[in-house]
A and B are shown apart, each in its own frame.
Chain A
Amino acid sequence: MSVDAVPAARRRRKLDGKNIQAETLCFVIGRPRSGTTVFKAMLQTHPEVWSLREVLNENNPRSYFNFLRRLQSEDRDALLPSRSVANFVKYLGWCRTTALEKQPQNKVVVLDVKYDQAHLLCEPWWSITSLPRIFSLMRELGCKVIDVHRNDVVRLVISNQIAIKTQIYHSNKLEPGTGQEAKVHIDPDRLQREVNATFQAYEKVTRHFRGYPGYLQIAYEDMFEGDAFSEALVQRVASFLGISAQFERKPQLSKLLADDIFSYVENADEVRASLARQEPPRTAVTSAGATESS
């Protein structure tokens, strides 16, 4: 029987993160439009933090895929899914080395992985009802994980639709002082589906990391005090990462959308009415990492 024919759980070996100094690697995870970019930008202002941005994003020259391409030139079997975990661990080692080259005093390497990209680390078998392999890999290796949630999930989903339509994801793509002006038509059913999917994903990820000391969950809504990052957040993150709180408190990006998200929705009345008819989400996830039944 082949290696790839065996379900992943049976093949799983205890992975050793010592060689890659896994405790210095910090995954920032979340759904798109959760505030991960502004949060990462804050982390990057620290003299001992280096961010490799979204590591599963093909537009990132330092992405896993670029690494994989180089790997395949040396080893043509590198693309086989049975190699994926080993490849990714090699990539993490490369990330650590790169960070030290760029920043010799580096203590934390930040790697951004969106929930919606997590499936890209493919193993031969993956049960569609379970979390993608990368989540368990983070735990097995002993990496740090900061999970950014957004409590206002409706806003998250609509914000994502606007970004997809306009291809404007961050304020630095706009003229200074201007805001997003586009309007989108929102399919109420799709909105509801995505809202539910987000709550389910939050619930699953929270459950997966329960009891893991290397996991910190933060809420976008708790990130700011006025126009600066909140002192509580900064202290909490610094303590979690084991570094000083030398972060730039002023956000590098500004808010793209005004407070009333429905002002960007062409069919706002229809969407509001649809949301009012729906059952409340099944679970609410607290920023302390516990899941409460609603």
Chain B
Amino acid sequence: MGAEVCLLLAVERSGTHLLRSLLGNVRAVVAPGEVCNATIPHNRTANSSFFRYREQACLADHELFFPTEPVHRRLLDGYLDFLRSSYAGKKLIVLDVKYAHVHNFNFFWWDPLEKPYLVQYAKRNGLKVLHLVRRKVYRTAISGFYANESGVWRAKSEHETKLIRIAVDRERLEKKARAIARSIARFEDWLSDCPHLEIAYEELTENRDASLASLQSYLGLKHPIADAPGFVKTTPPLEETIENFGEIESLLDLDWRDLRIGRRDKRRRQARHDETAEG
């Protein structure tokens, strides 16, 4: 029997590199890079690249060009089988799929408010799902701005990081943070009837032992996950790096649930909260 597959869903700049590097410390687990990041040229040849698989599969079978539901199911089944054979000997494959990538798995007709096909597929096929959420969405947004400016998206050591100073436009920041919060709300809603484990980035960084224990339990790993991250933070303390820190300081620790992101999302979250309270 091949390896189990687990999806790691998150918005970018949520700590997926950190989580993947921690999971990668377990010998039975492989957690390759973003499967829909068709980096050219080097990542294109990576075994885990969905696009690489799709490219080969479409060359071999022209029917796979046409994004109908049966075709997509076949494509996904084939992709997971391919990964299992690529990572023979592993017991668990963790696939990093960013929110902004799930559309690549959707098939022909899709209402953008409907659950993405990948989430439906995960539920139907009993895939494990990790939902990594960085609650402090203003910090997520700033991390993206900083990476854009510095050109450093990930670093394995302090030497690879870069200290620069940036000015943050408050209006742009608020817009971005609200967009992230809306995305999280939508995914939370889509995942509500799909078994999954939600991991908070803040817990992962501040209460690592508990987070690793719950990951071990959810993923059914025999051995504890070693607390030896392979990446370091790329964004320095914000007071050192943001020129107008005083202007945005009050926003930094707001939780995504505290943001006004539309009546519908709020109503849904309230309804779920009430259900949980009643339960």
Contacts and interface: CB of A to CB of B under 8 A. Distances in A.
Does A pair with B?
A: yes
Interface of A: 1-5, 7, 10, 32, 57-58, 65-66, 68-69, 72, 76-77, 79-82, 114-117, 119-120, 122, 124-130, 132, 193-194, 196-197, 200-201, 282
A122 B186 CA distance: 20
Query: What are the nearest 9 A-B pairs in CB distance?
Result: A2-B39, A58-B66, A197-B113, A125-B100, A4-B38, A69-B65, A129-B182, A116-B109, A80-B38
B151 interface: yes
Contact of B100 (A2, A32, A117, A127): A127
Contacts of A126: 100, 103
A132 B112 contact: yes
Contact of A128 (B37, B100, B151): B100
Interface centre among B43, B106, B110, by most chain A C-beta atoms within 10 angstroms, is B110
B179 A127 contact: yes
B199 to A, nearest CB: 20
Interface string B106-131: 10111111101000000000000000
Given A119-B106, A128-B99, 12 more contacts: A2-B43, A58-B67, A58-B68, A76-B59, A81-B38, A81-B51, A117-B108, A117-B109, A128-B116, A129-B182, A129-B186, A201-B111
Contacts of B244: none
A60 B155 CA distance: 47
A71 to B, nearest CB: 10
B264 A196 contact: yes
Contacts of B37: 2, 4-5, 124
Contact of B58 (A1, A5, A7, A79): A79
B259 to A, nearest CB: 13
Nearest to B98: A125
6 contacts: A10-B148, A72-B65, A81-B51, A120-B108, A122-B103, A125-B101
B55 to A, nearest CB: 5
A116 to B, nearest CB: 5
Interface centre among B39, B40, B112, B263, by most chain A C-beta atoms within 10 angstroms, is B112
Interface in B1-43: 36-43
B47 interface: no
Contacts of A4: 37-40
Interface centre among A66, A129, A193, by most chain B C-beta atoms within 10 angstroms, is A129
B44 interface: yes
B270 interface: no
A65 B112 CA distance: 20
A30 to B, nearest CB: 13
Contacts of A116: 109-111
A124 B151 contact: no
B103 A119 contact: yes
Contacts of A197: 111-114
Contacts of B264: 196
A177 B84 CA distance: 56
Contacts of A80: 38, 40, 44, 51, 55
A32 B108 CA distance: 13
Nearest to B109: A116
Contacts of B65: 65-66, 68-69, 72
A3 B116 CA distance: 25
B102 interface: yes
A120 B110 CA distance: 9
A194 B103 contact: no
Interface string B41-80: 1111000000100110011001001111000000000000
Contacts of A82: 38, 40
Contact of B108 (A58, A66, A68, A129): A58
B68 A81 contact: no
Contacts of B241: none
Interface centre among A10, A66, A127, A132, by most chain B C-beta atoms within 10 angstroms, is A127
B85 interface: no
Contact of B54 (A79, A117, A128): A79
Nearest to A73: B59
A57 B66 CA distance: 9
Contacts of B113: 193, 196-197, 200
B2 to A, nearest CB: 26
A197 B111 CA distance: 8
Contacts of A32: 109
Contacts of B99: 127-128
B183 interface: yes
B62 A69 contact: yes
Contacts of B153: 1, 5
